[in-house]
Structure 1
Amino acid sequence: MQELNQSIVTEFILLGFASDPRTDPLLFVFFLVFYLLILVSNSLLITLIHQDSHLHTPMYFFISVLSMLDVCYTTTTVPQMLVHILSRKRAISFARCVAQMYLFLLFGVTESWLFSIMSVDRYLAICHPLRYKVIMSRWVCLLMVGICAAYGVVGGLSYTFFAMRLPYCGPNEIDHYFCEVPAVLKLACADTSLNDLVDFLTGFNVIVVPLSLVAIVYANIFATIMKIRSAQGRLKAFSTCTSHIAVVTMFAAPCVVMYMSPGSDSLSNSGKKMALFYNIATAFLNPVVYSLRNKDVKRAFLKLTGQGKAPE
């Protein structure tokens, strides 16, 4: 087995997005604006949930954890990408590449499982409202988040270990804007069939399983919603569920393609574009879908800014 520090390659070159140098400033501004919006919206959401006692519920607790993950998730990749867009030297050391790969997977896998936990929370709130507060106690919520984090630690270690145990002795140009496992594996000077198998099995456990859990939970939620007599009530519940499912799909579908078929050469050009969906787009949309459209959050924002209560 090759040890990490025995690799001949000491640094990688991140090619990023191929573009005309004259358009790099525009590309830089585009991603910078998105990154700042992610930081501001998620940080504001965390502050509102922390400050307003009316938002101290399991649902908003999970949303605050999701916002923290989104900030960490995008910070592992976007700041470096911004620097590289305006820099001619786009090198990253071997050690930094390993660290970035692991942190990205740690937060990503944790978020993947958190989506499923949030769907379970909604199932209990809609299908078992009388028992909801008893079941979803503070310690149960903390335990659920702890389980998600444990999956993130183990899943991240599995992906990273099996990717970086390989020898890297030839080309060092990564056709991506960060050190993502499928892109790095293409540079290995050894057979990666075992890695492909490990990635498939690990991906099944950390992506497909939580995604399947979300689907099963929402099937039960929809069955309960159909029993609601009020047409307006059913429409409102369906609207909330479809928004959640849309974001989960945007996050999970590209992950399934990337991490469960890493040996596919057809993904070499589109991989970094798909990564934008689960690395940047979902982090930008999550505050909007889960909270910024919510009346309780709007009321908390107006209260925090001293503008009184939000209109009913």
Structure 2
Amino acid sequence: MVNPAAPRLDIAIERWPIAGQFTISRGAKTEAIVVVAQLSQGGLRGRGECVPYPRYGESAEGVAETLRGIADRVAAGLSRTDLQREMPPGAARNALDCAFWDLEAKRSGKRVHELAGLPSPRPLTTAFTISLGTPDAMAEAARRASGRPLLKVKLGADGDPARIAAVRAAAPAAQLIVDANEGWAAETLGANLAACAAAGVTLIEQPLPAEADDALRDIPRPVPICADESAHDRASLAALVGKYDAVNIKLDKTGGLTEALAMDAEARRLGLFTMAGCMVATSLSMAPAMLVGQTARVVDLDGPLLLARDRADGLVYEGSLVHPSSPVLWG
């Protein structure tokens, strides 16, 4: 039954070209495919954007179909609180959860941070990603970005010690973090960790496959290790203690801002410091993640910087300094 006071849900799949090519250990892509959920009510609209994650069996078409399947529940009065029980964590719930937050802000005349009981967000320094390639290609990319304070270096293939050494030589003043995207093995872990330590790397994301990360309990960690593919929502955190030092909170994994904020608090309670991460996407994806970034030790919200163009009214980036969103965009 339709509730005349409930919002209408519309879904769109959008394609945003990437500037060049984005390459990680699992492959390369030349465009970001996002799904946008829009809630319309009384002349107001709330939007949320997600990036389906093939690593977890998600596709744009599948996520859009999942959201269309819950549209009748939304029309009958499903709330954001109900949503946490009705949908599992993942990209589909992220888009709808963030759309609910945006619409709540528009209806109330308050910003999302106020509704969530958070302080006013401040600008943040984001990492800038260097895609996986040959040592020479990565060194050249690092040289072009060497004026940025924080670089995220994609690794996860044979020859990674040479890659990280080349990047360090090309960007001697930048802080480096590494993302192996599950591309290392237990047999090479020690050598790769040593190479990263020698290069002054300050954090390494997900060096081993999620299903094989118990090996992290048994090896010295000269550089702090951050869980990414091993971390999803609050339920995944307890198993990370003793293997990881930090957790990368991404809204497409948590299923939205609601769970991301709760996960952030729980991670810190367990002694894990946090990183605010993203997929390659537009500013509409980054805007809610900016609130998670306020308490994170490391911020990686450079998605729009990797695109050929961003959406109108996108986040303002001054070099690597990213400013909170305007309410025209989100929240």
Higher relative contact order (CA 8 A, sep 6+): 1
TM score, norm. by length of structure 2: 0.29
Which one has the largest radius of gyration?
Answer: 1
Which is helix-richer, 1 or 2? 1
Q: Taking structure 1 as the reference length, what is the TM-score of the superposition?
A: 0.30
Greater per-residue strand proportion? 2
